[in-house]
Structure 1
Amino acid sequence: MALRYLAFPCNQFGQNEPLDNLAIRDFYQMQFGVSFKVFGKVMVNGPDAHPLFSYLKCHTRGISQNRAVKWNFTKFLINSQGQLVARYAPRTKPETLKQVIETQLPTESR
């Protein structure tokens, strides 16, 4: 199994994602050249939070040991067995996660 990136846009943070799902995906592809899966917009906090984010928040803590997602680009690392490994702050640069990600990849993928 290879490494997969999944993006879940959310408009709960400063209304930074006002576009519809198709426009968001097109914008990401044109502006940033992303080739990974961009899902439809979800709620990540509050009573209407998507079940995935309810689970992720329940099993990790973020900034100031709070469970809520505080801003876009919060990152969650899930291993190939679907287990939550870690949560990273929005300002964490993806390239700084290389070593921890590599420890989670099957040996044949490294």
Structure 2
Amino acid sequence: MASATTFYDFKPLDKTGAEVPLEDYKGKVVLVVNTASKCGFTPQFAGLEKLWKTVRETHPDDFVILGFPCNQFGGQDPGSNEEIQEFCQINYGVTFPVLGKVDVNGDNASPVFEWLKAEKPGLLGMKRVKWNFEKFLVGKDGAVKGRWASTTKPESLESVILAELAKQ
């Protein structure tokens, strides 16, 4: 989507294949994470859920986490969308939205991830997602405010998210 200028220009698919207009999150701070259910970083689902609940205690309508399952790294999310949802809920009590499975790199990469990577390249200007559980923070204005590697624990982003929420 070459004409996209903000996060809100995209409509990724949910677990059922229905479009999710990101415009619905306009004015909110959004943490986007490419997830996987069979990865060494999979326990980060617990940290993401904790972060989701903690921030929403004080900002119930202003923050959202969007999980995007991806099977591109070591085949670590091979299940169907339904199986992934079930896994997240049963094993980690996930209540934040987990959308449909996407590619984050390559010819079939989700347009939203192509845009996120272009807006906030990684280390040394790298424009690809390196592994599962990379995180992108989108501000209330729809612009990318930060990007963190898989090794960054979700809980460590709380102060950055709260600072972004405090901006007018």
TM-score by length of 1: 0.91
| Letter paired with 1:51 | P
Of structures 1 and 2, the one scoring higher in RCO (CA 8 A, sep 6+) is 2
2:112 to 49, 52, 58: 52
CA distance in 2, matches of 1:87, 1:59: 10
> Where in structure 1 do 4 or more consecutive aligned residues deviate above 6 Å?
none
CA RMSD across the alignment: 1.6
Please list the CA deviations of residues 29-74 of structure 1 after superposition, one character each: whole Å capped at 9, or x if unmatched.
Answer: 1001110001010010001110000000111122443111010100
Alpha-carbon deviation of 1:83? 1.3
Which segments of 5 or more consecutive residues in structure 1 lack a partner in the other structure?
A: none
SS at match of 2:69: coil
Which segments of 5 or more consecutive residues in structure 2 lack a partner in the other structure?
A: 1-60
Aligned counterparts, 1:21-40, within 5 A: 21-40=81-100
64-73 vs 48-57, which moves further: 64-73
CA contact under 8 A between 1:57 and 1:69: conserved in structure 2?
A: yes
Identical counterparts, % of pairs:
45
SS at match of 2:145: strand
Residue of structure 1 equivalent to 2:150: 90
CA distance in 2, matches of 1:61, 1:79: 16
| Letter paired with 1:24 | I
CA distance in 2, matches of 1:84, 1:73: 17
Alpha-carbon deviation of 1:99? 1.1
CA distance in 1, matches of 2:162, 2:128: 27
Number of equivalent positions: 108
CA distance in 2, matches of 1:22, 1:34: 14
Residue of structure 1 equivalent to 2:103: 43
| Letter paired with 2:132 | N
45-54 vs 64-73, which moves further: 64-73
CA distance in 2, matches of 1:64, 1:90: 16
